[in-house]
């Protein structure tokens, strides 16, 4: 049985941590970019944790889970000099198939909540701090028809689906909708003989439904030796994103 004393001590510890974070946020140098989110490939059926931080040159950076219960990541660059530091860091976890590690299991490892980004600035040891909210709400994957070549240009279209998506069941539920903040479009053309890869990407507003790639993307491409695929990522306001991939012929 959990005693009242234990409950009060736990509540006091959480309140103390919250007050400490508030004080740190007011006095620390903020990270200019601080995101942590889940990214789902609905075509391949895998999902992972991604994160990015950026800001003034730092010599140590830590991303802590809710309440400081665990460290997601701790980075300490090799310091050639006391003032040497890093400015940007991007990471992504491994992404085993959902049948091997379900989304339900993943969010027990990285539960939704407030994550702290804590660091020390390289030049003067000043504390750095920011927070981001990790959510378990995933946007529904869009409907993406096969891209087409029209008058020598590659045309892509997609249709959004309202609702929230359960990666484990593959069901898009309209009971609680996840809004769309942006789309990201990625096209890759790989020549199977030379190994050369052409890549095009674009970030688009939530109202976008189509894109026509630049003429230069297809310039000199040999259709008989090129493998082509396109990806449409739906990005939610909290950063979570769901992707659909399609392969197509040139």
> What pLDDT does 84 receive?
76
Question: Do 114 and 22 contact (CB within 8 A), yes or no?
Answer: no
Which residues 6+ apart lie within 8 Å of 82 measured at CB?
122
For residue 174, pLDDT over 90 is answered with no
**143-171: per-residue pLDDT in tens?**
999 999 988 889 999 999 989 999 999 99
**201-233: per-residue pLDDT in tens?**
999 999 999 999 998 999 889 999 999 999 999
> What pLDDT does 5 receive?
35
d(CA 75, CA 55): 14
**10-34: per-residue pLDDT in tens?**
344 344 445 556 666 678 899 999 9
Buried b (16+ CB within 10 A) or exposed e, 14-37: eeeeeeebeeeeeebbebebbbbb
Ranges for all domains in the chain classified under CATH 2.60.40.10: 138-248
Question: Do 28 and 127 contact (CB within 8 A), yes or no?
Answer: yes
Model's pTM, two decimal places?
A: 0.85
**62-114: per-residue pLDDT in tens?**
999 999 999 999 998 876 666 678 889 999 999 999 999 999 999 999 999 99
According to CATH, the topology of domain 138-248 is Immunoglobulin-like (2.60.40)
d(CA 49, CA 108): 12
d(CA 148, CA 248): 8
In this structure, CATH architecture of domain 4-134: Sandwich (2.60)
Arithmetic mean of pLDDT, 45-60: 93
Residue 27 CA to chain centroid, in angstroms? 28
Q: How many C-beta atoms lie closer than 10 Å to residue 250's C-beta?
A: 14
């Amino acid at each position: 049985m959990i005693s009242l004393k234990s409950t009060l001590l736990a509540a006091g510890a959480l309140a103390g941590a919250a007050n400490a974070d508030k004080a740190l946020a007011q006095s620390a140098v903020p990270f200019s970019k601080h995101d942590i989110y889940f990214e789902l490939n609905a075509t391949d059926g895998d999902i992972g944790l991604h994160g990015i931080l950026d800001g003034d040159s730092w010599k140590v950076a830590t991303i802590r889970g809710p309440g400081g219960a665990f460290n997601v990541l701790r980075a300490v660059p090799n310091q050639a000099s006391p003032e040497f530091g890093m400015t940007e860091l991007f990471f992504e976890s491994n992404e085993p198939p959902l049948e091997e590690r379900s989304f339900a299991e993943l969010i027990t490892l990285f539960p939704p909540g407030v994550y702290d980004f804590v660091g020390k600035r390289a030049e003067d040891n000043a504390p750095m701090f920011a927070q981001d909210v990790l959510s378990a709400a995933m946007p529904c994957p869009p409907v993406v028809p096969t891209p087409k070549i029209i008058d020598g240009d590659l045309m892509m279209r997609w249709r959004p689906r309202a609702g929230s998506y359960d990666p484990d069941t593959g069901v898009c539920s309209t009971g609680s909708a996840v809004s769309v903040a942006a789309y990201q479009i990625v096209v890759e053309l790989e020549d199977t003989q030379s190994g050369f890869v052409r890549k095009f990407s674009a970030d688009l507003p939530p109202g976008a439904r189509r894109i026509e790639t630049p003429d230069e993307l297809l310039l000199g491409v040999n259709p008989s030796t090129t493998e082509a695929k396109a990806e449409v990522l739906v990005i939610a306001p909290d950063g979570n994103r769901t992707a659909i991939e399609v392969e197509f012929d040139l």
